Amino acid sequence: MSANAVHAFGLIVAGMPVPDEDADSVAELMAWGWVTTDPDDENRLVALNPKVAARRRLMLDAEEALLRLERLRCLPDVADELYGQYQRVQLRAGGGAEYIADPAVVNARLDDVVGGAQREILAAQPAGPRSQGQLARSLERDTAALGRGVDKRTIYRATVRDNPVTAEYARTMSNRASGRSAEFATLAEPFERIIIVDRQTAFISNHLVAGAPEHAAWQVTDQAVIAYMVEEYLEKWRRADPWRGEVRGRSLAADIGLGVDGVRTTPRQREVMRDMVAGNDQRATATRLGISERTVSAEINALKDLFDAESREQLAFKWAFSPDRLVGVTAVEVGQETVDTAA
């Protein structure tokens, strides 16, 4: 209450006129309910008993507060009901996908969407284990999500079972002492990177914009597309092997394919095979590996002989059941050849 309003109230109580310049003070008194006008003379102001007026105001404000609380309680249910109508129109109109070139923006969007997850996070990480710093950064965010009751599943390549850093992260998140735990699985076959949050938003790698930065991504909100992505993800999840962070401990010699543990192919042959089963043509494989198409063809013929396969289809079938497919997928140059390491 302003000092001018208090002064004006004193004048009204005393039956004295209030100067015209104090009209704002009179309006303030009337808004609070301390004064009213005479029913028989609208130009005459009447002061009300402050204690009685205060009780009346308290009752009105209490009723309004209860109404506000009721609206707040019903707000999520009303929003869900309205969203059903909104979503039906959006589905007919089509959803959307946004290309994000800047890795910093990609990470910021991921942090925002994943950090706000309420029900489910589905992740597929084909690049294999991440660094200690990356996993430590994820640990806090993922722990918070699990604390909110979010279901979290992650699919890795099978080679992560040899990586102690990722194994420790998986053990920590899948064996939590209290609350919900994360679920992990590994898959030997190739798959794409994806993160799906609450079946409403997905982040996928870029395969459309030519010459894009390495970590560019698309943020997808088209509900029909996301529903399809979820089904594809769950199908891979059913085929994957559950993992709780056990370290397989395969030797590096087996990882680089030196004829140990049944591995017979060279690193370049494995790169050729991965492209072949992924459906990439020989020209693309030659460009990626920096070799000629004739060399790619020669490698495929050598692989047919090695696996005793009469066709590319039979070769792909036998490759799927060979230990060679489990060798890591990230290549580093060593002399004239490339050597596979854990991805």
pLDDT above 50: residue 205: yes
Where do the domains of the chain lie, and which CATH numbers do they carry? 3-48 (no CATH), 97-243 (3.30.870.10), 252-341 (1.10.10.10)
Predicted pLDDT at 129: 57
Say how far apart CA 247 and CA 167 lie, in whole Å. Answer: 6
Where do the H-state alpha helices sit in the chain?
Answer: 3-13, 23-32, 50-93, 103-115, 132-147, 164-174, 223-239, 252-255, 267-277, 282-289, 293-307, 312-320
CA 98, 195, 186, 250 dihedral sign is positive
Using the 8-state DSSP alphabet, how is residue 308 labeled? T
Say how far apart CA 14 and CA 37 lie, in whole Å. Answer: 15
Q: Mean pLDDT check: name the lowest of 28-37, 163-172, 250-259, 300-309.
A: 250-259
Say how far apart CA 200 and CA 214 lie, in whole Å. Answer: 25
Say how far apart CA 196 and CA 274 lie, in whole Å. Answer: 25
Q: Are strands 201-205 and 217-220 parallel, antiparallel or unpaired?
A: antiparallel
Query: What DSSP line would sit under 102-123, residue for residue?
Result: -HHHHHHHHHHHHHT-SSEEEE
Say how far apart CA 273 and CA 341 lie, in whole Å. Answer: 16
pLDDT above 80: residue 327: no
Say how far apart CA 125 and CA 311 lie, in whole Å. Answer: 31
Strand, coil or helix: what is 229?
helix
Say how far apart CA 160 and CA 171 lie, in whole Å. Answer: 13
Check residues 131 and 202 and name the one with the higher pLDDT. 202
Predicted pLDDT at 340: 41
Check residues 317 and 337 and name the one with the higher pLDDT. 317
Say how far apart CA 297 and CA 315 lie, in whole Å. Answer: 13
pLDDT above 90: residue 195: yes
Share of the chain above pLDDT 70, in %: 87
Report the pLDDT averaged over residues 20-38: 85
* Partners of 185 in the β-ladder: 155, 242
Interval 273-297: pLDDT, tens: 999 998 889 998 988 888 888 889 9
Residue 99 one-letter amino acid: Y
Residue 338 one-letter amino acid: T
Confidence of residue 262 (pLDDT cuts 50, 70, 90): low
Q: Mean pLDDT check: name the lowest of 22-26, 118-122, 278-282, 339-343.
A: 339-343
Interval 234-246: pLDDT, tens: 999 999 989 988 8
The mean pLDDT value of the chain amounts to 82
Q: Which residues contact 147 (CB under 8 A, 6 or more apart)?
A: 179, 180
Report the pLDDT averaged over residues 183-208: 92
pLDDT above 90: residue 25: no
Report the pLDDT averaged over residues 31-43: 82
Predicted pLDDT at 300: 93
Say how far apart CA 70 and CA 195 lie, in whole Å. Answer: 36
Axis crossing angle, helix 293-307 with helix 282-289, rounded to the nearest 10: 110
Sheet holding 201-205, edge to edge: 97-100, 217-220, 201-205, 194-197, 120-125, 151-157, 183-187, 241-243
Predicted pLDDT at 308: 86
Say how far apart CA 35 and CA 25 lie, in whole Å. Answer: 11
Predicted pLDDT at 258: 40
pLDDT above 80: residue 208: yes
Confidence of residue 150 (pLDDT cuts 50, 70, 90): very high
Predicted pLDDT at 234: 96
